[in-house]
Structure 1
Amino acid sequence: MSESLSLTGIGPPSETKEQKSKSYAVNLSNENLSLNANGSPPYDPHAHRILEHPTTNSETLIHLLKGSLGTGILAMPNAFLNSGLLVGTIGTILIGFLCTYCLHVLVRSQYLLCKKLRVPILSYPDSMKYALKDGPDCLKFGVPLSAVVVDGFLIVYQLGICCVYIMFIGSSLKQVLDIYITPMNERYYMLFMLIPLVAINLIRNLKLLAPFSQLANIITFVGLGIVLYYIFQDLPPVSSRPLFGEPMKYTMFVGTTLFALEAVGVVLALENNMKTPASFGGTTGVLNVGMTAITIMYVAMGFFGYVKYGLDTQGSVTLNIPKNEILSQLVKIIFAFAIFITYALQAYVPVEIIWNTYMKKRIQNWDKTTMEYLLRISVVLITFLLAVSIPLLELFISLFGALCLSVLGIAFPALIEICVLWPERNFGRFNYVFWKDILLIIIGILALILGTYISLSEIINHK
């Protein structure tokens, strides 16, 4: 189950504690390593990684593509509804470039930190902590809480994904089963799934999910093919849709697209399991090739999905395809099953962070196994209650994209890079790296504030 563990950012079970971390250090593929004073080469983190089943470049690329084809791509037509065709196309390309660049910034900075500290790998929270220690004096006050803050955003984001998954499953089941039984509110379908979700989340050994995960991956590709079949049937002319959306909804477009494209944990986890991590970066490296292909697919799905369904576009394009046809009902069941399995993988991440970092060492008088099971049940109940209380799929996608990924994927990588380069002031000519990172931090904070505010406003207005 090393693949499923990798996609959750936990790491293969045979790895050390550092290697099981949520985010991973990456290479400077073209760096020339000079010799130390004693004639030995400097510490290379890549050379000290111990992997039981490393992946090749092609396998990593396949995993990257597969890990990105889920609810995110299904939400892209709704993102284009908020932006318009022209703004959506250009905006998705720009956000794809921004996400990819910030991933390069993060993994390059983590590599430098690992090299300096002489460790094979650092988690995302530890990277922030050690970077701030070397950063400007005005930022060192944040060192004690830095790891907690990063963990907090990671936990909230993963719980948000779980909420979206529950809404998606409930909406999909409603569209299929309402045809055969008395129509019910989608909340009841979410309630019917509560016990199965608790049961699957009680599985502590994810290897048991491996066969189901592989099946979910296969049927997801089949489902996407069926969705595209419906989209390209009797496709209206492109001119029938506006090029520009309402400016007030652009931030919702940004939030949804960030949710779809930004995958910090997945991308960094995949790099950590590579046989040749030096091939991950670079102009024609795995990251650039994969993210380019993903961005193109997302633009195509968003563009043509919006052209097809226009103002009727829903939070997931699967909810737009016909309700009474067997094939369309099949694809909704397919995606509902795939997301059900993936829920366990996504919920595994916050459970691991909360349990291993904050609970396990503090529990003395209680049975630890029982407490871990209670934590797993609590995670399901929290996400279920949030999903049932406000079942607005598209708004939750936008909210969690803006709330967490603007920080985790844009602002924090830039802040880490500033701190890592601060001791030597190695910011390039005219300190362009410093000012570039300041701009990225501002963009991330603005996306956080505006996107969260507008998404919350829309949720409140829909209640």
Structure 2
Amino acid sequence: MSQKAGPRPSRDFKNVATTQEEEDAYDFLKHRTHVKLTSVFGSVAHIVKGALGGGILSGHVAYMKAGVGVAVPLNVIFGAYMAYCLHLLVWSSQVLYKRTRIPSMSYSDVGEAAMMCSRFPTLKKVARFFRYTIDGIICLDLFGSCCCYLIIISKQLKQLVEDTHASSFEGSFPGYPGLRVYMGCMIPLIVVICMIRHLKYLAPFSIGANIVIVFCIMLAVYYAFDYNPAFENMTLATTAYNTFEFI
């Protein structure tokens, strides 16, 4: 029997816990009675997919633009920075769960709660604005990503069907449909997937995407060693513009 979604937490976030002992005494996991929890494996799949994304498939092109000597250190730095930000976000949300006695929050809830529980009155006044800013940035990013990925997927399908590397808006050969047809066929499927609200049910899609990404990375590495086993003619650094393009 499926669980019903619980009521949304109140936006009147208050610091209920006054001492560290009161914070530690609250177990937010035991109070999550109406939340569809995601398994550890599914959560890791979401993190990996979110961190890598489809852009990893063009990583070899990015390395070529920036140069190996620049791209590798930047990749390590940004990877560590992203891991630290994720750790900080999870740690902060768990602290807010204990302080506000709210066992579950959305991304924007965490942002607003952090401002409301601040000791500075000025930050409390802009908490609601901060929440809407987070929602706006997320919507802008996700809607933009969906639009871009729709074009990318349709373009790849078109090239696969036509068996050509050429990129054109219309059909490359007589009788072949244009890019609009492929986009029209993909829109219903993408809309249905986007209507899934719970990460628990999106985990299989993330796992499948990660498998495809790993397979493509293995192919890219294989062909890299096959075509250039001695790592010859590799540029260490290029221009500042290419470096920013890599970033």
Q: Which 10-residue stretch deviates more, 230-239 or 242-251? A: 230-239
Is 2:89 aligned against 1:106? Answer: yes
Which runs of structure 2 are paired with 1:210-249 in the superposition (5 Å)? 218-235=211-228, 237-249=230-242
Is 2:185 aligned against 1:196? Answer: yes
Is 2:66 aligned against 1:83? Answer: yes
Structure 1 gap segments, 5+ residues each: 1-11, 20-32, 255-463
Deviations 1:67-115 (A, max 9, x none): 6554121122232233210110000000001111111111111111111
Q: Which residue of 1 aligns with 2:157?
A: 173
Shift, 1:239, TM fit: 4.5
Q: CA–CA distance in 2 between the matches of 1:45 and 1:228?
A: 44
Deviations 1:96-144 (A, max 9, x none): 0111111111111111111111011111212221222233344344223
Q: CA–CA distance in 2 between the matches of 1:52 and 1:102?
A: 24
Please report the TM-score for the alignment, with normalisation by the length of structure 2: 0.72
Identity %: 26
- The letter of the residue matching 2:157 is L
- The letter of the residue matching 2:27 is D
Which runs of structure 2 are paired with 1:262-301 in the superposition (5 Å)? none
Task: Note the aligned Cα RMSD (angstroms).
Answer: 3.6
Q: CA–CA distance in 2 between the matches of 1:137 and 1:34?
A: 22
Q: Which residue of 1 aligns with 2:6?
A: 16
- Whichever of the two has the greater Rg, that structure is 2
Shift, 1:35, TM fit: 4.2
Q: CA–CA distance in 2 between the matches of 1:184 and 1:59?
A: 36
Structure 1 pair 124/148, CA: closer, same or farther in 2 (3 Å)? same
Is 2:55 aligned against 1:47? Answer: no
Corresponding residue to 1:153 among 131, 137, 140:
137
Structure 1 pair 163/62, CA: closer, same or farther in 2 (3 Å)? closer
What secondary structure does 2:126 align onto?
A: helix
Misfit runs of 4+, over 6 Å: 206-214
Preserved contact between residue 178 and residue 184 of structure 1 (Cα < 8 Å): no
Corresponding residue to 1:93 among 50, 53, 76:
76
Q: Which 10-residue stretch deviates more, 240-249 or 130-139? A: 130-139
Structure 1 pair 163/45, CA: closer, same or farther in 2 (3 Å)? same
Q: Which residue of 1 aligns with 2:115?
A: 132
What secondary structure does 2:235 align onto?
A: coil
Shift, 1:209, TM fit: 8.7
Q: Which structure has more helix as a fraction of its residues?
A: 1
Preserved contact between residue 57 and residue 213 of structure 2 (Cα < 8 Å): no
Aligned residues: 224
